[in-house]
Amino acid sequence: MRKPFIGGNWKMNTDSAGAVDLAKGLTQKCDSMLDRVDVAVCPPFVYLAAVREALGSSAIGLGAQDMYFEPKGAFTGEISCQMLKDVGCSYVIIGHSERRHVIGETDELLNKKLIAAIDAGLLPIFCVGELLEQRKAEKTGQVVKEQIEKGMAGISVEKAKTITIAYEPVWAIGTGVNATPGQAQEVHLMIRQLLASMYNDSFAEQLRIQYGGSANAANAAELMAQADVDGLLVGGASLKVNDFAVIVEAAAKAKSQV
């Protein structure tokens, strides 16, 4: 049985006081549910240390939104896995659509980042998802397959066990138009079958697949009710304590009824 996993991707939002308040609010609302659901928050780099402190003894995990694959050196502006661990991160988002499509990160670069994150002992949340024109052209399966095959190339089954995959259709991110539960389930199942063929059945059965893209307090329960939706990666709604807490509760309830 896969434990549900809710991630909050704060993107380039909050300020130092707001980030601390949000983290403290979440500990109050979510801590009692953490036996049933894993929760992580991913603030901007500059607030990681402050959020770590604000989380205190809570089991809410801390994640970064990106990292660079080299351990140290002359890479101006970049942040290494070791630095992330040093400030208390357990998770790192890799290949978010905004990094793929706004910043221009390639499958090859993301493969290097995934390998480096795993080797450093971070738990990657590896994002995949198609553009609107790719969905309209019925290329969703092909695009997601290629992103996973290239991104996870050369990663052994033992190492791949630390990965969470986040399926985030680009057309659903920040638009208010979420994938329907049926659309999410269809792609999640396809991803699980792909992983079974790349690795093996038991690996595919235990790997968690989050859905992301306009997930919110109102639609979390129906998304989480899908058999292969193991969690949500939440953007906008993760910036509001009450909304995020409702999402965490929906995840805990959805899977405890199974």
With binding defined as CB under 6 A, does residue 170 bind ligand 13P? no
In the chain, where does DSSP find H-type helix? 16-30, 48-55, 81-86, 97-98, 107-120, 132-136, 140-151, 157-160, 181-198, 201-206, 220-224, 241-256
Mark 91-120 with x for binding to ligand 13P (rule: CB under 6 A) and - for no binding: -----x------------------------
Question: What would the 3-class secondary structure string for 113-172 be?
Answer: HHHHHHHHCCEEEEEECCCHHHHHCCCHHHHHHHHHHHHCCCCCHHHHCCCEEEECCHHH
Tell me whether residue 154 or residue 176 sits nearer to ligand 13P (CB atom): 176
201-220 residues in contact with ligand 13P (CB under 6 A) are: 212-215
Rounded distance, CA 192 to CA 195, Å? 5
Active-site residue flag, 96:
yes
CA-closest candidate to residue 167, choices 197, 125, 199: 125
| Minimum distance of ligand 13P from residue 11's CB (angstroms) | 7
Structure tokens, 234: 């939440």
Tell me whether residue 199 or residue 224 sits nearer to ligand 13P (CB atom): 224
| Minimum distance of ligand 13P from residue 232's CB (angstroms) | 8
Of the listed pieces 31-39, 43-51, 68-76, 168-176, which binds ligand 13P according to CB under 6 A?
Answer: 168-176
With binding defined as CB under 6 A, does residue 168 bind ligand 13P? yes
Mark 45-84 with x for binding to ligand 13P (rule: CB under 6 A) and - for no binding: ----------------------------------------
| Minimum distance of ligand 13P from residue 158's CB (angstroms) | 27
Q: Which positions are catalytic?
A: 96, 168
